[in-house]
Each structure stands twice: as structure tokens, then as C-alpha cells.
Amino acid sequence: MNQTITNRNVRQQRKDQHLEIALSQSDSAANLFKGIRFYPEAIPELSQREIDLSTKFCGMKFRAPILINALTGGTRRGLAVNARLAEVAKRTGLPLAVGSQKVALDCPEVAPTFTIVRHVFPDGVIFANLSAASSVEDARRAVAMLRAQGLQLHLNAAQELAMAEGDRSFIWRDCIAAIAQNISVPVIAKEVGCGMTGSTAKQVHKLGVAAVDVGGFGGTNFVAIEHFRRNFTKSSLIDWGLPTPLSLLDVLGSNTNIDVCASGGIRSGLDIAKALALGAKMCGIAQPLLREVTFGGVQAGVDYIHHCLAELKTVMILTGARDISSLQQKPLIFDSEIWAYLQQRQLTKAWIRK
């Protein structure tokens, strides 16, 4: 019993530290989306009201392609953040994911710090969240706790290895397969800031996973967050990971017929437009929404999303794309760094659109 309380306290302290440090850190890399450009359509033949931002992801239809991505839960501070994020989701009609629910499975008294999102947004689409190392039973409990419509399984090996108290064994495939094949909602395999390749996406697709969230390098940096917690001043590993645009090109150029969510450093409507043009069906944003609701409250979070969506619409008009599937047909210009990556990965053919 005492051990349970100690573990809970350590975990809770860590979760609040994550919130605090994430708010003080800058993004992990320069925005590589800058290396992708659209061809402008000087005669768009479109009016703004014709633009359709709706998308399908994990078999569900959404009015716009933004997911409020997994952030927190488990503490009093996490409860306040989740309440605000859920209010943002409700006012914008967007889906929302919670942070890892493991703490609430082990200590049910903290479940309200997660279930608040369902309370605030009873009809919303909510994604549950657990580690890829979880059991089917825990996955079922996490989904039931929120009456969630989907489950994110986070893949965070680099973060665990950077943590003094983190896991050191990552035998995940059988757990992912068992969960994907035995729960009633779609499962999303999600990196948390180091990205993934097409080969990982293919593997998890074969295991029964419905979607991947590439969680690429470029935004929140968990290796840096964990090193900060340990007072490490020098580490070459804070640069570990595949930048989000490269991760998207890798996954979406690999002939994997799986839904893809882009996340990791998505910061603007222009980033969203580029991620969608590459073939993503959804775009996850985490740290900027944490920042907005923490410093500006719910309205600031809503304004941030409206700003991103307005920018996305603008780009769609300027490329002559009425809807997202039309945006996905538009040819793109890649800079030399991205082109070199595609050559190295033998993906150039997949990415030349006439």
C-alpha cells in the first residue's frame, strides 16, 4: 500500500514537472516544413465559403483536421488543464486525447482528473491513452473510463531511456497486437516526438492498428525534458529523432494503407496544410494548446485553433483546393535537404506529382 502511494506520488510529481518544463522549452528543431512549398494557383476559381475542411480518421468524420493531442492527467494541475482543453474541444467540435491513464488505473482516486474531459464534453470524440506495453485488460479499462472512441498507444522508448526511473525493456509487438485485436475501438500507435518510419507503420498495421501518429521530431522534446529533470547539461541525444515532415514522407511514401496523424512541431495552419498535402488525415497539436490554455485560458485555446483553421483555409484557396482530398493531389516543391532524404530512402518516385 505504502509502495503504491510512493509510486503514485513520484508519477504525479513527474507529470507536473512535464507540464512545467514543456512550457519553458522551445521547439526541438527549426521547422523543416519550411522546406516544402506549394505551387500558387493565381486563379483559384474558389470562394472561401466553398472550402470544406472535413476529414475522416479512424473511421470517424471530423469537421476539421485538428486533434488536441495527449498532454496530461493524474494531478490537480492536470485536471485543470484537461478541463480547459475539453472546453476548447467542445467549443471547436474537435477531438481530444488525454495523457497516459496508467496512474488512474493503478490509483482509481485520480480517475476524475481524466474523466473531467467526458464530463465537460459528453458528446465529444475522446481518445484514451496508454503505453504500448499495456495489457488488454488495462486497455479496456482505460477506454471504459472515458467512454473513449479510440485508444492511443504511446511509443516512447527514447523518453523512457532518458528517464532515471524509466523502462529499459521495449518488447511491445505482442501487446500492441493483443490490444488492437481485442478491443472494440480503433487503436492509434503514437510516437511522442522522435518520429517513425514507413517500416514501423507497416508493422503496426499488420498487427491490427488503425492509425499511426508519427509524433515526429521538431516540437516537444521529451529527451530534453527528461534531461532537464535530471540536471543533465550535456547530451548529444537531445537531437535524436526523425523530423515530422521526413517521418510523414517516409510513412506516406511507403505504400502503407493506414490512417496517418501528423504531430510533433505542428504550429500553424500552413504546417497543417503541408502535412495534409503529404497525405495525413489529422494533425495533432499538444504544447501550443497547453501554453494557450495555461496563460490565456479557454478562449486563447479556441482562438489559436480558429487562427490555424483560417490559415489552412487561406492556403487551400491559394492552391485551388476545395477540400482535403484535392489538397492531397497538389504538386509540392521540396528543398535540397528533403530531396536528399527522399533519394537516400529511394522514395523520390512516390513523391513526384505532376
Q: CB nearer to ligand FMN: give 55 or 69.
A: 69
- Does residue 287 interact with ligand FMN by CB under 6 A? yes
Give the one residue of 124, 198, 245, 264 binding ligand FMN; rule: CB under 6 A: 264
Q: Judged by CB under 6 A, which stretch of 1-9, 70-78, 168-176, 245-253 contacts ligand FMN?
A: 70-78
User: Residue type at 341?
Assistant: Y
Q: Judged by CB under 6 A, which stretch of 42-50, 161-169, 187-195, 330-338 contacts ligand FMN?
A: 187-195
Give the one residue of 35, 99, 150, 241 binding ligand FMN; rule: CB under 6 A: 99
C-alpha cell at 122: 459528453
Residue number closest to ligand FMN, CB atom: 219
Binding footprint of ligand FMN, residue count (CB under 6 A): 26
Helices (H), 112-196: 112-120, 136-146, 157-162, 173-182
- Does residue 272 interact with ligand FMN by CB under 6 A? no
- Does residue 159 interact with ligand FMN by CB under 6 A? no
**What does 82-108 look like in DSSP terms, one character per residue?**
HHHHHHHHHHHT--EE----HHHHH-G
282 CB-near residues (< 8 Å, 6+ apart)? 55, 57, 62, 65, 66, 67, 95, 211, 213, 259, 260, 261, 262
Residue 136: count of CB within 10 angstroms of its CB:
14
- Does residue 308 interact with ligand FMN by CB under 6 A? no
Q: Judged by CB under 6 A, which stretch of 5-13, 35-43, 185-193, 199-207 contacts ligand FMN?
A: 185-193
C-alpha cell at 296: 490565456
Give the one residue of 22, 125, 175, 185 binding ligand FMN; rule: CB under 6 A: 22
Instruction: For the CB of residue 301, give the shortest distance to ligand FMN in the complex, in Å.
Output: 13
- Does residue 78 interact with ligand FMN by CB under 6 A? no
- Cell 519550411 belongs to residue: 34
Tell me the CA distances in angstroms from 193 to 140, 158, 190, one per residue in order. Answer: 26, 9, 9
C-alpha cell at 8: 503514485
- Does residue 320 interact with ligand FMN by CB under 6 A? no
Give the one residue of 219, 243, 253, 301 binding ligand FMN; rule: CB under 6 A: 219
Q: Please, which of residues 33-62 interact with ligand FMN by CB under 6 A?
A: none
Spatial CA neighbour of 84 closest among 308, 302, 306: 302
Spatial CA neighbour of 89 closest among 63, 54, 53, 112: 63
Query: What is the binding site for ligand FMN (CB under 6 A)?
Result: 18-19, 22, 69-72, 99-100, 129, 152, 154, 190, 192-193, 215, 219-220, 263-266, 285-287, 290
